[in-house]
Chain A
């Protein structure tokens, strides 16, 4: 008998007999119905409590803010999506106050060393956020691959205020995740961190040292 059959058979022929299936009431996860303003405030508070940064912008002002953020950090380059609006508008803006714009458009194998060693910042879209915990929802795509939000030391994310949910539970239901998941989906709630050395927090241990969120109102 294969190990699979052995295990399943042992579980099926339980000596204790049938187990009862309890009901699960998820309403305890619900939070008060916050307004958009309250959601933004809570999101901001949560992200800042874990060393992230929030900048409230508009459709017209985010690019200026981005340029400022990058120049104060002296970033030499920024990784952007090839087809997504964010990447396109940055490349078409023709601004000279932005660093060199790089595109993630070939398989990682051909430029891994470059990504790990040279790229200083990246900007990605999000699929919304979660106010209660200060989380961003990311579903990496062909255009915005997984490592874009992980390898560069600075990760900048664009979040539309209208896509800010109150809880994870609400976001998952509203976006009907159960209908099908991508190969990889993520919640990101702050820059990479560790407290493994005597409970002392240190940022950027493997992923980005900085997480900067531009909230578009």
Chain B
């Protein structure tokens, strides 16, 4: 994640996961807003896949993504060549800061004062809005959810539904305070006023910035999935369109897109397809009457090429950002997206973010899971999220031995006390005499066993040692 001092105004301390989780659990509004939204999304997803051979479809999804990753460097070059041929300018950025600098430079070259933005998680990762603001360029989100979150000076709490943590009343109050609309619980009215406010902005913006869902190497096509039409506005109305994407989003062929699209929208919101599937292959031609005169693509690495080095971790790069793992996660549903303090929350965030920010900062993330397996079961591209969580947990306490130097911050969670206890435990189990003595003594002294064992017993009853060891009982039974 880009971390220059100037534009981390909203940086949340990832390490504070536990206090935030406590606060969220005690906030009935948060719990209710997420609970009802996620219940609905789970039901809709299920219905949307009815009549499909879902397992085979998920295999196809996983294979499409894997095939793309296996050829990643070649595909990126092919994509660049095709796009260039189509008249699109391609840029490469090793990290979020460089990507921000590239976007700013394009804006400045056009003397741009205002940028209108479609939804893009990579730009959240880059903290692009703050960067642009710092450079004196206004950046306005145009996706309704993102617009609401931006007005509230917050970050998205879900990758598909950014304002899911707010209810209608809160949104109405916010729009009233910030834009002067009347207070109302009528969602149609609130939406219509946002439409009016944003239409003005679309007409006057100098540059449009969008994300990319799939980038097709074969034809040099950037695909965007959306319902609102703001994405089409953003990429059509301003004279200049800048798309930003992670380097992993490339796929070899247009055919690949049909498989992924079928999985993406059904997994995300339970829609068979979104309202708009927008395929952009170049700027406006001389004779065309609308569309941007200039189209740019910024390919952002930002830690992805280091994930790419490791065979297991690489699976996270298959992610198509559908959000299904969040929708089905019992932990996410209770604590909400902001608790994580990371760009990507929920299960995918828990395995992706430790790569991007290191385990010393993100060490609590992999522990925020019940390992129930729901995330892995719903993932349309079959990312083994639970396995990766277990691996990252191991790495965060004992990393160097298991996987040398793959994720930064190895062993960040290793406590001296814990390490000593485990060492003693291992030693005792390896010496039969001490083992018998130890277990015998422990059962005799069971009355002295403490009733609390740290955080574990905050919400659980501490297990009690049995009065007799198994060995003793077997002996008594004469066996």
Q: Mark B100-142, 1 if CB is under 8 A from A, else 0.
A: 0000000000000000000000000000000000000000001
**Distance between B174 CB and nearest chain A CB, rounded to angstroms:** 11
A8 and B67 in contact (CB under 8 A), knowing A178-B253, A184-B291, A207-B232?
Answer: no
Q: How many A-B residue pairs have CB under 8 A?
A: 256
Flag if B309 contacts A108 (CB, 8 Å). no
Closest to B90 in A: A4
Q: In the complex, how many residues of chain A place their beta carbon closer than 8 angstroms to a beta carbon of chain B?
A: 76
- A189/B309 in contact, CB under 8 A: no
Query: Is B198 interfacial (CB-CB < 8 Å)?
Result: yes
Q: A28-B53, A196-B144 are in contact. Are A204 and B195 (CB under 8 A)?
A: yes
B contact residues around A127 at 8 Å (CB): none
- A169–B259 alpha-carbon span in the complex (Å): 8
CA distance A132 to B233 in the complex (A): 27
Task: Assess whether B290 is in contact with A186, with CB atoms less than 8 Å apart.
Answer: no
A112 within 8 Å of B by Cβ? yes
Are A142 and B289 in contact, with the CB atoms below 8 A?
yes
In the assembled complex, the CB of A88 is this many whole angstroms from the nearest CB of chain B, namely 18
The reply to whether B305 and A28 contact each other, CB–CB distance below 8 Å, is no
User: Can you report 13 residue pairs joining A to B where beta carbons are below 8 Å apart?
Assistant: A11-B305, A22-B70, A46-B272, A135-B273, A168-B273, A169-B259, A178-B218, A185-B281, A187-B277, A192-B275, A193-B228, A196-B148, A197-B144
Q: Which residues of A contact B198 (CB under 8 A)?
A: 206
Please report whether the interface of chain A is mostly helix, strand, loop or mixed according to DSSP.
loop
> Is B259 touching A24 in the complex (CB atoms < 8 A)?
yes
What is the size, in residues, of chain B's interface with A at 8 Å between Cβ atoms? Answer: 100
CA distance A82 to B283 in the complex (A): 22
B276 in the interface (beta carbon within 8 A) = yes
Stretch at the interface among A13-21, A57-65, A70-78, A91-99: A13-21
Per the bound structure, the CA–CA distance linking A207 and B226 in Å amounts to 11
List residues of B whose CB falls within 8 A of some A CB: 33, 36-37, 40, 53, 56-57, 59-60, 62-64, 66-67, 69-73, 76-77, 86, 92-94, 98, 142-145, 148, 161-163, 166-168, 171, 187-188, 190-192, 194-195, 198-199, 202-203, 218-221, 227-230, 232-233, 236-237, 247, 253-256, 258-259, 261-262, 269, 271-285, 287-291, 299, 301, 305-306, 308-311, 314
Report Cα–Cα, A24/B198, bound state, in Å: 42
A169 near B256 (CB under 8 angstroms)? Answer: no
Partner pick for B276 among A116, A186, A204, CB 8 A cutoff: A186
Within the complex, what minimum Cβ distance (angstroms) separates A133 from chain B? 4
The reply to whether B288 and A147 form a contact with Cβ atoms under 8 Å apart is: no
- CA gap between A29 and B57 in the complex, in Å: 8
- Would B168 and A197 count as touching, CB distance under 8 A? yes
A150 and B229 in contact, given A21-B67, A24-B60, A24-B63 (Cβ under 8 angstroms): yes
A21-B71, A186-B277, A199-B161 given; name 7 further pairs at CB < 8 Å: A108-B290, A142-B289, A178-B255, A181-B221, A194-B228, A202-B191, A205-B144
B118 → chain A, closest Cβ, in Å?
A: 10
Query: Which one, B53, B199, B236, B253, contacts A146 given CB within 8 A?
Result: B236
Bound Cα distance A14, B77 (Å): 17
